[in-house]
Amino acid sequence: MLRFSQIKFIIALLAISYLLLAASSVSAALVPACGDPGNPCKLCHLFVLLKNIIDFLVTLSFPLAGLVIAFGGILYLTAGGNPGQIEQGKKAITAAVMGIVIVLVAWLVVDTFLVVIAGGSQPAGFPWPWNDINCPT
């Protein structure tokens, strides 16, 4: 019979292999189309790649936080009076909520900073909106 640690290892191995398989399909959406003889890669393609990675991670953070909150809730509900498990469930829920708050506040701080620096208008030469990078081909 498999021990609990062996089951956790198998589940972790399956999750990692699934993520590696999914990464190959995600990379096609993250990497900008350049490098062909008619479309050489430019510096702006690097910024497009960085923007795509950041957008992907921000988008991934919400479902991941939902899963962590659900996991914490399950731990909390199935604790049966075990204070260690109750505390672990509370910590998981708190960590997920704080992670989402950090992601949203960081975006808001950068947005507010750039709007204040730009004077609240769309100055010439400033890539506006700042979170939308267009790379001409």
Mean pLDDT of the chain: 78
Three-state DSSP state, 104: helix
Q: Where do the structural domains in the chain lie, given as residue ranges?
A: 38-137
Note the pLDDT of residue 121.
59
User: 85 is written with which tokens?
Assistant: 């498990």
Is the entire prediction scored with pTM above 0.75? no
Where does the pLDDT of residue 105 fall: very low under 50, low under 70, confident under 90, or very high at 90 and above? very high
What tokens appear for 30 in the block?
Answer: 């993250």
pLDDT in tens, 49-98: 888 888 888 888 888 888 889 989 988 988 888 899 899 999 999 999 99
Find all residues with CB under 8 Å of 74, minimum gap 6, and list them.
89
Residue 12's Cβ-count burial label (10 Å; 0-12, 13-18, 19+) is: exposed
Tell me the CB-side half-sphere exposure of residue 128, using CA atoms within 13 A.
12
- Residue range 10-36, pLDDT digits in tens: 777 777 777 666 655 566 677 777 877
